[in-house]
Chains A and B, each alone.
Chain A
Amino acid sequence: MAGMCYGVNMGETETSAPVEPSSRSARRRRMEIHQFNFVPTDSSVAPPPLEGGGGGRRKRQRILPAVVPVLSPMECMNGVQNCQVVQQKENQVAGELPPATKALDLSASPSCSANENGGNPDCPKFGMTSVCGRRRDMEDSVAIHPSFCRPDSNSTAGLHFFGVYDGHGCSHVASRCRDRMHEIVKHEFENGGSPSWERTMSESFSKMDKEVGEYCNGGAAVFISGCRCELQTPQCDAVGSTAVVAVVTPEKIVVSNCGDSRAVLCRNGVAIPLSVDHKPDRPDELNRIQEAGGRVIFWDGPRVLGVLAMSRAIGDNYLKPYVIPEPEVTITERTAEDECIILASDGLWDVVSNETACGVARMCLQSRKPPSPPRSPGNDITVTEAGESSDKACSDASILLTKLALARHSTDNVSVVVVDLRRI
């Protein structure tokens, strides 16, 4: 842990500064709905994790001082659609999600059945968009697994898993994370005996990284072939992925991050980053790399050994020990003021600031009425057929953010997950 203080004093990293083309400023100002000043904090003043009273099976780690929320069950109006999303993921076509959902055969979904979810009162609503955008390769993957595991056998409240993986070099490490990370986390959570979420997640990321490494060294047949690098070993070693994973429990949000994808919480209109990008020029990361004997070289931006533009990742064997799979974990108590979390790859964050993203997402959630009443019988727009995707408002938010990223000339794959945290 780099010991950053999460909360209102969160330091916004350089990369999250909005990249705004200068023209059209008036319009842009409208887009910038909220402006907040974030005061960077020195990592040394971060409060130590507090050991919480062991009411549950696990020790609780409190980093954010928070009002203990009054728990009221959230509606789960979209259990079936959620399952479709999960299955879609397992069909490996994140970006093709929306049109295909209708036709999917739910029975084929091994990890999530309609029954399992339909009865879950704590199932969050979410929306997801993942597109290739202006890149020639799709290397992003998204995994969404509502109720992927339970805190204990007596509990009915499930834990929900959301992950965004942005691959580099090839797509296979990101796809592997998409397919396996939630299983590893579940296994680690249920059997690992780790005393804390930090340990659980750290172990999970490490196992994920080992799995990826093993597959490269001979177990390649397990991969579905057809990825660009064809798993030839030298290239295979130079493949990796970011991972930002949010586990949402009834009480908290556990975000684990490796790389430059990001999770941002929207709380009462304020954008609170729940992860800090691992950029090689982040002072603590730069130190760590140099202490390990590595170097950060500026070559089209700061890069580890002049190669990789992030300082932590799953995979990338050839850059170990400078590039590590150790996640930074933040644990945030949920409050009644929480509106949503946004998980996204840098295809979004490179061109849309945390504040803008939260502003857009929250306003989409607030205007939750069916947004476009049919105007005229001949309206030829197919935008608004309600109920088609997982959750209308969340989907609207994720697609609008994606379109905003594309409009602002994002040159990367764009993946956006919006999870509604409001308790209804």
Chain B
Amino acid sequence: MSDLPSSISYMTQATRNGNQERESFHKFFECWIVEQDHHLHELVSASKDIEDRHQHHGGATAELNGRVLRPLLERVVQHYEHYYRAKSRWAKNDVLSMFNPSWRSSLEDAFLWIGGWRPSMAFHLLYSKSGLQLEARAIDDLILGLTNGDLSDLSTGQLGRVDALQKVTLREEKEITEKLAKLQETVADSSMVELSHAVSELIQEEAGDRVAEQEGRVEAALAPKEEGLVGVLEKADELRMKTLKGVIDILSPTQGVHFLIAAAELHLRVHDWGKKRDARHHQADSGGGVNGSNGHHRQ
């Protein structure tokens, strides 16, 4: 991977041109997801190498860990970091689009938590994948303590650390949710209620020019709310990244590869499925000619 990832070039170019609108992050996302697919291929092929070595040499060797697996894990994790860096830059200019992302399907949208994946989901992903790998093994091997290096081999120490990380993550996730709740409630604070009343009266009086005069006040009232959203989004994205890195840190390189494969597969497939559903609904709507779009369909 010596060539510059296209999402990076796109980000530099977009920032250089001051091209900050919603459309540009959409394009960045599409580049990024293609790169994620490349990484998935690399991860899968690494996991096959590991399996080969396991059969012939009884496990991933230090050499394989150092030369291949660790750099690969690092690269994939950096790719996530790169995503959140770009997202944070765009969010500062158009935070609302991050909460209503046009680059996501409605399916993904419905399951988002503050503009992204729910951090505590990482543990469900880990337990599900680990469970599937555990079930694929013979109970005798497990009882004898034979290891094959995948997620079924989570040790006592690892499970303890995962559990501790999960508790911290859940707590922080709840705190951020609470922050968002407080912010959302300020939509009905007295300044907003007063302002909406004032403007409504003007509209009733058909005093159009004076409605326009209020625009400044409207902007002033909404600005801190948007700033609040930027702050909450930043915290949410930080927690996502912290959780991902935290899990990878607990896992061995081989397990890390398995975990990142599961994460990428889930992300990419849910995205595909969502897009297909959207396309189907879109077709049905336009084909039937009834009521066109309800405004929630994505391209």
Contacts and interface: CB of A to CB of B under 8 A. Distances in A.
Looking at B127, B144, B156, B170, which has the most chain A CB atoms within 10 Å of its CB?
A: B156
Contacts of A99: 157, 160-161, 164
19 contacts: A27-B138, A31-B139, A131-B166, A132-B167, A134-B124, A367-B145, A372-B145, A372-B147, A376-B61, A379-B59, A379-B60, A380-B60, A381-B153, A383-B153, A402-B159, A403-B159, A406-B130, A407-B130, A407-B134
A97 interface: yes
A381 B155 contact: yes
Chain B interface SS verdict (over half): helix
B131 interface: yes
Interface of A: 24, 27, 30-31, 33, 93, 95-100, 129-134, 136-138, 360, 363-364, 367, 370-372, 375-385, 388-389, 395-396, 399-400, 402-404, 406-409
B47 interface: no
Interface string B244-265: 0000000011100000000000
B156 A95 contact: no
Interface of B: 57-65, 120, 123-124, 127, 130-132, 134-136, 138-140, 142-147, 149, 152-164, 166-167, 170, 252-254
Contacts, number: 145
A133 B127 contact: yes
Contact of B147 (A27, A133, A134, A383): A383
A401 to B, nearest CB: 11
Nearest to B124: A134
Contacts of A129: 156, 159
Contact of B139 (A30, A100, A132, A382): A30
Looking at A371, A372, A379, A385, which has the most chain B CB atoms within 10 Å of its CB?
A: A379
Top 9 nearest A-B pairs (CB, nearest first) are: A371-B145, A407-B131, A378-B62, A378-B61, A383-B155, A98-B160, A95-B163, A375-B58, A380-B252
Given A130-B163, A381-B147, A403-B134, 10 more contacts: A98-B156, A131-B162, A132-B167, A360-B139, A363-B143, A370-B145, A388-B156, A406-B131, A407-B130, A407-B134
A395 B138 CA distance: 19
B159 A381 contact: no
A95 B170 CA distance: 14
A385 B149 CA distance: 14
Contacts of A138: 167
A385 B252 CA distance: 14
A95 B60 contact: no
Looking at B58, B64, B131, which has the most chain A CB atoms within 10 Å of its CB?
A: B131
